[in-house]
């Protein structure tokens, strides 16, 4: 990891914890605010620890983009949790064959960037 990338990652980590420190839930309830602050901190720790051994520059850049996207979405919608995606069910393809594999591939590629690592830790 280059020094510039290291500084960028550490800056992003600090930014997430500053956001958690000043977080207010949309409902304004104290219990919910505390719960959401704890979620933000634990999610950040989990994701950064999971990716601490990543050395490929392309993967590091992808992780940084994912974290930045999650921050922006969380601040915009005022929810710390990843927004769910609604993909159409795989109703037309049979459970085997080329059409099924093609639909699975399309579903995999249609997943937004902010959910790439979330499914791995859930």
Per-residue model confidence as pLDDT tens digits over 52-62: 898 888 888 98
**Secondary structure letter of residue 96 according to DSSP:** S
In this predicted structure, what is the pLDDT of residue 34?
95
Residues 6+ apart with CB under 8 A from 65: 113
- Residues 63-81 have pLDDT tens digits of 898 889 889 989 998 988 8
Which conformational region is residue 28 in: left (phi greater than 0), alpha (psi within -120 to 50 degrees), or beta?
left
Q: Where are the domains of the chain?
A: 3-85
Cα gap 109→68, rounded to integer Å: 20
pTM above 0.85, yes or no: no
What is residue 77's DSSP assignment?
Answer: H
Would you state the pLDDT for residue 1? 67
pLDDT attached to residue 102? 73
Higher pLDDT, 66 or 100: 66
What is residue 105's predicted lDDT score, i.e. its pLDDT?
A: 73
CB 71 within 8 A of CB 16: yes
């Amino acid at each position: 990891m280059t020094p510039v990338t290291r500084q960028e990652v550490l800056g992003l980590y600090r930014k997430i914890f500053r956001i958690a420190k000043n977080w207010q839930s949309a409902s304004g309830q104290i219990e919910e605010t505390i719960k959401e602050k704890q979620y933000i901190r634990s999610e950040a720790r989990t994701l950064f620890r999971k990716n601490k051994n990543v050395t490929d520059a392309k993967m590091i850049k992808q992780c940084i983009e994912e974290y930045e996207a999650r921050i922006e979405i969380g601040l915009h919608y005022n929810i710390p949790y990843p927004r769910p995606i609604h993909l159409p069910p795989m109703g037309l393809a049979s459970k085997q064959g080329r059409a099924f594999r093609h639909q699975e591939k399309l579903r995999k590629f249609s997943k937004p960037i902010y959910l790439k690592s979330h499914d791995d830790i859930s």
